[in-house]
Amino acid sequence: MGTTLAQFNGRLAGGGIEGLFSSKGQQAEMALQVKGLILDRLSLSPLLGPGAIRLGGKLEGKAELAAEKLSNPAGWKGELEFRLGSGKIYPFQAQGIQVEEINYTRGDLKVKIQEGAATLENLKLEGPDLPLEAKGNISLRQPLSASVMDIAGTVEASPNYKQKMPMLNGLLPPEKKFTYQGTIGNLAALLK
């Protein structure tokens, strides 16, 4: 069985993307570098379905992934590390509630994957509206929407954001801490 090797480099959404993909039989490796991608110009709907959250800001970062069998996330290993420049989360629905635009000044995401277990080392959004930080674990499954998350973190709405969304006073935990245990698919369904 031969090896397939694809190298790519191009402009996308105002930024650059380059990478390498190789496969031999069921085995695959991928390396991806993203520079200055303007998220306002992209839609996550093709990946996450209609009504997916839209993000704004510039994305920088890298992803590396190796798999014995690409179709089986339980055997994946690798690392994702991305940074978001100043931007926003566009208004969206969460369990039938209209969530107003959330502005942020910086975002960070760092995930390590080993044998189908993903460690969310850092998910952080800093900004004037709804700062958030989370860590935890994700057991990867096929399909990815069936992957089980066990994460915990902190979230706090600023006084100005609470004025725009007064119902947050009853929805956000008073101690500013939260946990989520469930599938990626169930979490995505909450945010539509």
Distance CA 117, CA 161 (A): 35
- Average pLDDT estimate for 58-79: 88
Q: Output the pTM of the full model.
A: 0.83
pLDDT of 192 reads 57
The pLDDT confidence band at residue 41, using thresholds 50, 70 and 90, is confident
- Average pLDDT estimate for 96-119: 92
Identify which of 143, 25, 28 has the alpha carbon closest to the alpha carbon of residue 74: 143
pLDDT tens figures, 7-32: 888 888 888 899 988 888 888 898 99
pLDDT of 1 reads 55
Residue count of the chain, please give it: 192
pLDDT of 50 reads 60
The answer to whether the Cα torsion of 137, 141, 147, 150 is positive or negative is negative
pLDDT of 112 reads 96
pLDDT of 77 reads 92
Q: What distance lies between CA 63 and its chain's CA centroid?
A: 12
